[in-house]
Amino acid sequence: MRGISRASIAEVEARLEPLTGAPAAAADLGNELFAVAGVLASQPALRRALGDVSRPASARAALARSVFAGKVGDNALGVVEAVAAARWSAPGDLTDAVEQLAVQSVVAAAEENDHLDELEDELFRFGRIVASAPELRIALTNPFAAAQAKHELLSGLLAGKVTPESLRLITEAAVSSLGRSLDVSLEEYARLAAQRRERLVAEVHVAVPLTDQQRGRLASALSDEYGHQVHLNVVIDPRVAGGMTVRVGEDLIDGSVATRLATARRRLVA
C-alpha cells in the first residue's frame, strides 16, 4: 500500500490492539475479518461503494454496518466500520486492509500463546514443502477444487503438527479468493508475523546446515547491518556449493562458491 492507504491502515491498526489481548478473542476476530475480506473480494459493487471517497465517511461506515451487522461480532464490526470510514487509494486496498488486519489478529493470538517463532518457521517450511511437492501444489492451487476439500486436505496433513495459528493462515492462503498465489500469500503472512516484533526475515541458502553458533553470528551481523532484529529462514540448497546466499527483502548477498565460479567463467570468455 502507498500514500493515503498506508496512512489509513496505520490508523485502523491502532484500533486492533485492544481487541487482541486474549488469544481466543484475537483468533475469533481474525476469523471474522477473513470472512469479511472474502465477501468484499467477491462483491465488486460493495467494495466500490465502501471505497468511494466522494461519499461521506459516516455514510460508508453506515453501509458497512448495514451489510455486516449480525454476521460478525461487535469487535469485528467496529473494525470494518473504521476501515470503511478511512480513505483508500483504490477500492482494492480496502479489501487488502481487512485481510491484513485478519492476519494481524491471528498473529496476535500466536504471540499470546507464545507461538510466534513457530508460526514464522512453519509458514516458511510449508511454502518449501509445497514448492517441492507438485501433486500437493496442484491440489491446493486448483481453482476448481472446493474450499472444503482444501480445508480437509490441510487438516489431515497438518493438524497437531503445526500450531493452530499456522494451520489457520496456511488454510486461508490456500482457499483465499483475493487473487494472490499461495506462495505470495504465505510470504506476506510471514512478513506480517515478523513485523509483529519489528524484525526482518532473511532467507539463507547454504549447502550444509548451520550450527547454532553460526546462526547466531549471522543473525547478529545482519541485525547490525539493517538496524532490526533478523529472523533466519535457512534452506539447504546443494546448488550453493559452499558459502551461502542471503536475501533480505530485495537485497541479495551472494557469497556462494557456485556464483563466484560462474562469475570467473564469464570473465574468462569475455
pLDDT of 201-247, one tens digit each? 788 888 888 888 888 888 888 888 877 677 788 888 888 777 788 88
Could you tell me which residue, 253 or 164, shows the higher pLDDT? 164
Residue 264, pLDDT > 70, answer: no
CA distances from 177 to 23, 118, 195, 245, 260 (A): 26, 26, 24, 34, 43
Of 105, 93, 96, 92, which Cα lies nearest the Cα of 32?
A: 105
Please state which of the ranges 58-62, 111-115, 233-237 shows the lowest mean pLDDT. 233-237
CA 124 to chain centre: 10
In this predicted structure, the answer to whether residue 270 has a pLDDT above a threshold of 60 is no
Reduced to 3 states, what is the DSSP secondary structure of residue 247?
strand
Residues pairing with 235 in the sheet: 205
Smallest CA-to-CA distance from 3 within 44, 39, 37, 53 is with: 53
Q: What are the residues facing 198 on neighbouring strands?
A: none
Q: Which residues of 223-237 are buried (b: 16+ CB within 10 A; e: fewer)?
A: beeeeeebbbbbeee
Give the tens place of pLDDT for each residue, 174-210.
998 777 889 999 999 998 988 877 667 788 888 888 8
Asked if 187 contacts 127 with a C-beta cutoff of 8 angstroms, the reply is: yes
Asked whether the beta carbons of 210 and 225 are under 8 A apart, the reply is: no
Rounded CA gap, 258 and 249, in Å? 22
Amino acid 207: pLDDT: 83
- Residue 231: the pLDDT is 77
> Looking at residue 189, what is its pLDDT?
94
Residue type at 13?
A: E
Tell me the sheet residues that pair with 203: 233, 247
Across the range 144-161, mean pLDDT stands at 94
Classified as helix, coil or strand, 232 is strand
pLDDT of 94 higher than 80: yes
Assign 252 to helix, strand or coil. strand
Are the beta carbons of 224 and 164 closer than 8 angstroms?
no
- CA separation (Å) from 225 to 174, 194, 207, 218? 35, 17, 24, 11
Q: What is the largest CA-CA distance in the chain?
A: 71
Task: Count how many residues are written for the chain.
Answer: 270
CB 145 within 8 A of CB 139: yes
Output the CA–CA distances (angstroms, integers) from residue 53 to 36, 59, 67, in the order listed: 20, 10, 18
More confident residue, 181 or 76: 76
